């Protein structure tokens, strides 16, 4: 199984050791990262509503 690491651009938190341990790595820019976030609220099949924490905006 291959290990691939994704870094989020702009956070300046790339680990050289982690990159070396992986088979590959790539950088996700902020625009793509924001587009891939879940909506503010998600309703489960049982009706329970999950709300994204305020710090995830």
Tens digits of residue pLDDT in 20-35: 888 998 888 888 888 8
For 2-5, which contacts have Cβ atoms below 8 Å and span 24 or more sequence positions?
none
> What does the radius of gyration of the chain's CA atoms come to, in whole angstroms?
16
For the chain, give every domain's residue range: 4-56
Q: What confidence category does residue 51 fall into, taking pLDDT thresholds of 50, 70 and 90? A: very high
Give 7-21 pLDDT, tens digit per residue. 887 767 778 888 888
């Amino acid at each position: 199984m291959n290990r691939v690491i994704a870094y989020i651009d702009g956070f300046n938190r790339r680990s050289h050791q982690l990159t070396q341990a992986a088979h590959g790595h790539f950088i996700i820019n902020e625009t793509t990262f924001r587009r891939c976030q879940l909506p503010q609220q998600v309703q489960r099949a049982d009706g329970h509503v999950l709300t994204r924490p305020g710090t995830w905006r």
